[in-house]
């Protein structure tokens, strides 16, 4: 049975989903104009908004910056007290105001026009002062706020965020922005690390190894001491994993201890070059459904990389 609180949440989801869906009906040629202006500017996108719009603006700024659109956030209050010096004439000014009448934003218009800036406005009022003075207007009007009193910005801020995402994605597609481009701006993130780092940076250089003639007691000791769940046989001729041991134990526990390493190893284990990207290692492990690769450099075994190293 749905609780009163869950019912409230479901109502919010439905209202805000409808608000976002409605945006597609409000798109005009101004959206294309805004995209083209941003694509062809020699400057940056300056994003400006007050209060809740400002908070959404900061998120839009972060999305733009990480997807290849140079930008920064400008607080309208600080702008009017000296920070307008940060705005160059070739910058695109993206102003956010649901009412289109936010005083702190409106009073920047004379400067922006005198400075020659292209103004892109996101408002819910196409006839508002901000919308009428913009070069391009993006309509973010919503049928209703999710707030039951129609006071707290809820659907309107969601719509603003969605319109910002639409701009960012359209710009990405126009620039053919690829995962490796994204990684350049996220070198510390998981994706950036996988795309930019090489296998040699993440591999384990100390390789647990036994000879092909090693008795099973030596193999078990090598795997235990190596703490990698495997050992390599004769410089990469083969590999023995914990799983190999378990399978042989199930088939012939007594006979296993009479065998040597070469008798139970998996021959010709998969290898990867030390200079390969982590993404290549991940793809190779996924393709062959294995959890480790032997790392080679100049046809010599130099390490091991495991799926755990890629997390």
Domains in the chain: ranges and CATH = 4-177 (3.40.50.10490), 195-310 (3.10.580.10)
pLDDT digits 0-9 by tens, 75-112: 999 998 889 999 999 999 999 999 999 999 999 999 99
Average pLDDT over residues 255-284: 89
> What pTM did the predictor assign?
0.67
Integer CA distances (angstroms), 65 to 45, 75, 120, 144, 184, in order: 10, 17, 17, 31, 11
Average pLDDT over residues 278-288: 87
Say whether 186 sits in a helix, a strand or coil: coil
Which two tokens mark 269?
């284990």
What is the reported pLDDT for 239? 94
Distance CA 255, CA 264 (A): 11
């Amino acid at each position: 049975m749905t609780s009163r609180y869950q019912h409230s949440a479901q109502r919010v989801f439905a209202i805000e989903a409808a608000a976002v869906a409605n945006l597609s009906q409000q798109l005009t040629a101004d959206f294309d104009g805004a995209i083209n202006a941003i694509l062809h500017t020699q400057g940056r996108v300056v994003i400006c908004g007050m209060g809740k719009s400002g908070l959404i603006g900061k998120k839009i700024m972060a999305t733009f910056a990480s997807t290849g659109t140079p930008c920064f956030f400008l607080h309208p209050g600080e702008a009017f007290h000296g920070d307008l010096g940060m705005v160059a004439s070739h910058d695109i000014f993206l102003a956010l105001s649901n009412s289109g009448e936010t005083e702190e934003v409106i009073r920047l218009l004379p400067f922006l026009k005198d400075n020659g800036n292209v103004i892109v406005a996101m408002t819910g009022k196409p006839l508002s002062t901000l919308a009428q003075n913009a070069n391009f207007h993006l309509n973010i009007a919503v049928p209703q706020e999710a707030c039951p009193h129609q006071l707290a910005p809820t659907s309107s801020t969601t719509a603003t965020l969605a319109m910002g995402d639409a701009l960012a994605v359209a710009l990405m597609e126009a620039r053919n922005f690829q995962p490796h481009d994204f990684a350049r701006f996220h070198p510390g993130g998981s994706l950036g690390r996988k795309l930019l780092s090489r296998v040699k940076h993440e591999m384990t250089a100390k390789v647990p190894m036994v000879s092909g003639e090693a008795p099973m007691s030596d193999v078990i000791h090598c795997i235990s001491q190596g703490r990698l769940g495997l050992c390599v046989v004769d410089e990469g001729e083969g590999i023995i994993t914990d799983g190999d041991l378990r399978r042989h134990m199930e088939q012939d526990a007594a006979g296993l201890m009479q065998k040597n390493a070469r008798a139970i190893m998996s021959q010709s284990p998969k290898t990867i070059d030390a200079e390969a990207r982590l993404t290549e290692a991940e793809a190779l492990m996924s393709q062959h459904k294995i959890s480790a690769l032997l790392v080679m450099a100049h046809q010599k075994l130099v390490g091991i990389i495991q799926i755990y190293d890629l997390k």
